[in-house]
Amino acid sequence: MPVHARLAVVRTWTNGWFTTHRTKAVVRYKCIFGCQDADDDVHHYIRCPVMWPLVCTSAGTTLQSLERNLAQRLCVCGFSSTDAWLLALAYQGNHAMRSTHDVQVLQAQLSGDFSQLLDIVVSVFSTLAEELGVR
């Protein structure tokens, strides 16, 4: 597993995701994947019911991966390389959405319509999965 993928796991453990709540931004987003009752925060993303199925599908893994408990998903216990790759993909996909598609994220936040943004999310996760060699 490349260093950048391992670092994504460590960044998750240390609350290192680029979120408006961690950076204490003036304008704080809700979940960038469309969960209206959830904040733009790593504590939500590690459980996000919209993001994780997209991560698993993009990586070509079954949705049974979602049944693993949180400690396993975070690679804290019962480590598997699949969990580490999925976590790296989730981290990098979230970061790519914020760094490359922040205008579309903001538009979705303001309008409450995430349908077009989710099309971009699927494309971003699929591209990253191929680049990481996860798929």
Cα→Cα distances 26→20, 29, 41, 128, Å: 8, 10, 14, 30
Give tens-digit pLDDT for 81-112. 888 899 999 999 999 998 999 999 999 999 99
Mean pLDDT of 76-85: 84
pLDDT band at 76 (very low <50, low <70, confident <90, very high): confident
Distances (CA, A) of 46 to 31, 57, 103, 104, 107: 12, 16, 23, 22, 24
Q: Which residue has the tokens 């990481």?
A: 132
Contact between 82 and 65 under an 8 Å Cβ cutoff? The reply is yes
> What gap in Å lies between CA 60 and CA 54, rounded to an integer?
10
- The alpha carbons of the chain give a radius of gyration, in whole angstroms, of 14
Residue 132 has pLDDT above 90, yes or no: no
Tokens of 100: 């490359």
pLDDT tens for each residue of 26-37: 788 899 999 989
Q: For the chain, what percent of residues have pLDDT higher than 70?
A: 99
Distance between CA atoms of 112 and 109, rounded to whole angstroms?
5
Q: Hey, where are the domains in the chain? A: 3-132
Nearest to 51 by CA among 124, 131, 100, 134: 124
What's 81's DSSP letter?
A: H
Is a pLDDT exceeding 90 seen at residue 16?
A: no
Residue 104, amino acid: Q
